[in-house]
Each structure stands twice: as C-alpha cells, then as structure tokens.
A and B are shown apart, each in its own frame.
Chain A
C-alpha cells in the first residue's frame, strides 16, 4: 500500500477500500522500521497524525465533501511552524521550541485534510549542500546509506524516497527542493516566488525562500502544489492571482509543439558523465514526443553562484538577528548579572552551527560600509542581468531545461570542509531563485557509473508553473514506458522496511 502514489491512495480512500487511519498506521510502521537507518525525521507526531486521520475518516463516513488529498499522510520540513509541535529549523538554537501558531502552509494542509506525520531533518536554517549541517546529525540517502540525500530539504526527500510518506513539503532558497529530489529519485517543485505563502516559514533569505511540494509522481506533486499555493494577506510578497492549473497540466502531459530551450551554460564541463548522458537521453525523448529543442544562451549565469553567495548570506545575517535569546529559543550564560549583549553572544555561539556562523559573518562583511557596493551591490546588479537572460531565453522557448545537479549523490563528509566545492552543487538551481521563477526536478534515470538517480530540471516563467507539469508529465510517462517500472523500484529495499 505504501508504494502506491498519493493519487492511487486517494482513489482507494474515496472508494472505501482503505481508511486514512490504516494508511497512516502503515506509514508510521514504515517510519518505525527504516527511519533508524535513513534519519529523515526529527520528530514523529504519531498521536497527532492518527487523530487527524481519524477525524478525516469520520468526515468521509458522514458524507462530507472532502478535498482530493484528504486523509493522505505527509512529511513536513522542520522549517515550517506547526502549533504545539517541536519546530527547530535543524538548529540547536530552537531545540524544544513549540510554535504558538501554524504557518499558512500548515493551515492549508490541515484544511485540506492532509495528515502530518512529523517534521523532517534539514541543514540548519536551510544552509548547506547536504543535511550534514543539521544540528541533529545527517539524513542518509535511501539509495545508498553512505551518501547524502542532498540540500537542504534532505529529510523530506529521503522520507518520500524511502516510502515513509507519499508526499512531503520542502523549501527552496537555492535549490533545496530540486536538488534533493534529483539525488533521491523523486519529483520536487519550487513554485514561483510568492505563489506559496512564507508566513510561518522560518526565514533564511527572504527574497529567495519558497516552500514547495515533493512527490513520487508529477501528478502527486501537482496535487500537493494546488493545496499549498494561493494568496495570503499575511505575506506581503504573496501573489494575488489565481493558482496556475497545475493538476490539469499534469494530467494532460502534452509537449507537441512545445519549445524546449537547453541552457548552454548549464551542461558539459563540470557535469558528471552519467548525469549528462541521462539529460541528453531525456531531451531525445522529449523531441520524439514532438517538442522542438533549441539552445539558449544565458551568459550571466556564470556569475549566479557568486551573486547567490553574497545575497543569501547578507539576507541571512539580517534575518537571523532575531535569534537573540530574549523571547524564545535557547538562552545561555544568563547568570551573575551578565549583560544582555554577553548572553546574546554566548547563546548564538552555542546555538548556531559552523555553516550558519560562516554565512552570518560573510553577510555581515558583504553589508558592511566600505564593502557594500563592491559585494552586495554588485550581486544585486548581477541579479538583474540574470533576470534579463531568462527574459530573453523565454522569448525563444516555452520552458528551459538543464540537469538539476552536476553530480549524483556524494558521500557524507566528502565536502563538509570544502565550502566552495559544496556550494557548486547548487550551480544549476540557483538562477531560478535569483529570478523568482519556478522550477521542477524529475527523475531522468540512473547514472551508468554509480547507479544513482539523476534529475532533469525544467524551468518556466513566473506564474507559468503549469508548464513545468505539462512537460514533466510527458517526460515521466515516456520514461516509464521505456523503463517498464518506476525508478524507485530499482532502489534497495531498506532492512525491515517495505
């Protein structure tokens, strides 16, 4: 049962052949069996989940009209506030904090009847290129337990890949949904900036952060996207426009006549051989389905990584100032008449991990007087050039494509002491965030040299998210025919799991 898609589970619930309580128990059993190996969850809320499931089953029994995903279990990245449930953002500075309110995403999930199984592991405050930067230890990739599941929503991606949940919510600041989706062989979407409310999403870089869905199929991901998206008066950057018809697009999956632009700068040198091979193969598949493949030039993408690693740390150095040991979270050193400033400094030392400190210091430097124009100011201008590159490319193509990540999943510990090598993992995903547009990663097969999943990235203009699903569904269906079985059927079955 747990290997089905969310859409299949929803159909079984509607037909009365299973209940949400049964589904929820089956997933809790899988978590109990395999999460000791994968370590996707920071907190499992078994009682809360079963109570939610029971409530949905009762509504269904009484004939109440339910939303399409009502009763389906889901894993939630620990960056989203959920009332009464521990929420840490992967940081020791928030250990034990139970938010007194729900984020808008959680409110929407609850209103749609989704069952929240628990909170998933992540890099501390979503910073890093593997979940090795979690204050609570790394999550491991279900495909190979010596490897990372990717940045930074690694727990959510691993949970879906290991059949601990059919769906999960992540957040994507520089690729943190798309890259782990690629490395674990599942589908992940970063919606258009402003499409999903950031109210209650613990901020890393406010102009780049966006929550989005994970699923094992394009349709499942679309169904969750539709639940999460929509205008929210509590978020001033939330777009007040109808949600694009992503579910209809995922069901149509037609690319005949669609123009697909291959970004010249995001392939070739620096991309692992097997990654490039699967990407090229997917392009041929799309061409055989009637899409027109063109090459587009985005010359300023070369500078995207540098701009990102100035903009994100700058915004983070400001956002993380709120962790001041005064109103919530950790407080240490508060004895013997220590000053507020000393308590603040001691608490931030004890509560923040190495990568978070590194980025706060870098951001503080980039924003300091005398360096502001040379670093932060220049990065903002590069951002303008990247937006212009995209604008031009989208006059030549309906969607743009690239490999999602330059390599397959790497070994835990391999890059933790080499920040620049780690940052390179985001090279293909970051431009989307800088421009505020939308992107999807879906499985393109396994790399020949290591038998690990490769992601195919699709990008579309702001509020044209349905194009991702249209192209993604077409590629997914054609690849499934070619493979004969979903890619996750090739992953090893975890000890004790199903």
Chain B
C-alpha cells in the first residue's frame, strides 16, 4: 500500500504554489494511498526495451516565414489584468523580505 504523509502533501502543495488548509492536507494524504496504488499498476508490466511516447504525433520543430502578423493591441492584452499601471501588468512584490 502506497502512502503519502500530510507533510509530503504539504511539500507538493508548496511546489505547486497552492495554499492548503490543514483539513485539505489531511484529506488529500488519506486519498493518495488509494490513488497511487491504482496508478502504480503501470509498473506491473515488463517495460524493458519499450520506448516512451510523449505525444501521439512525431513532432518536429515547425517554423513559419518571419513575417509580421497582426497581434493583440496593448489594451486587449491588458484587458484581463488584475492590476495594471502605465500600460504594464502590475504584480506584487517579487524581491525582498518574502524569502
């Protein structure tokens, strides 16, 4: 039986930048054993020599001619901004005491 402790979930939530209440951490950690057991079935198969598929198509880099095409106006690009200033996205403090 796989398991993930409350602290493991808290660490993952931190990496994923999701604040979680104590109740959410405990409930997720209790569900995770069951979910991990189910998905761990992928390890039951002998996969020696099998190539991984990341995508249904064999993709190569696709380039287009370097021609200027219409794009969003600054007003459109900023239309959904939670906060803006001088035609820019205003963001919370990214440097300083936080760390």
Query: Which residues of A are at the interface with B, using a C-beta cutoff of 8 A?
Result: 97-101, 193-194, 207, 233, 236-237, 239, 300, 302-303, 305-307, 309-310, 317, 321, 324-331, 334, 337-346, 348-349, 352, 354, 357-358, 360-362, 364-366, 368, 374-375, 377-385, 387, 419-420, 423, 434-437, 462
Contact = CB atoms under 8 A, between A and B. Distances in A.
Given A326-B82, A381-B45, A434-B56, 17 more contacts: A100-B77, A236-B59, A237-B57, A310-B39, A334-B82, A340-B98, A341-B98, A345-B18, A357-B24, A358-B28, A360-B16, A361-B12, A361-B32, A380-B54, A381-B42, A436-B56, A462-B56
Contacts of A98: 79-80
Contact of B52 (A324, A364, A384): A384
A385 B50 CA distance: 8
Nearest to B4: A365
User: Which 5 residue pairs across A and B have the least CB separation, nearest first?
Assistant: A436-B56, A328-B80, A339-B98, A331-B82, A380-B52
10 contacts: A338-B93, A357-B20, A357-B24, A361-B18, A361-B28, A366-B39, A374-B40, A378-B42, A381-B50, A381-B51
B35 A420 contact: yes
A361 B81 contact: no
Contacts of A310: 39, 42
A419 B51 CA distance: 30
A339 B12 contact: no
Contact of A327 (B20, B42, B81): B81
B44 interface: yes
Interface residues of B, number: 53
Nearest to A206: B55
B68 interface: no
Interface in B69-99: 72, 76-77, 79-83, 89, 91-94, 96-98
A324 B91 CA distance: 10
Given A100-B76, A340-B93, A303 B41 contact: yes
A193 B72 contact: no
B1 interface: no
A349 B83 contact: no
Contacts of B94: 339-340
A327 B59 contact: no
A364 B8 CA distance: 11
A361 B57 contact: no
A97 B80 contact: yes
Contact of B93 (A339, A360, A383): A339
A381 B56 contact: no
A352 B31 CA distance: 18
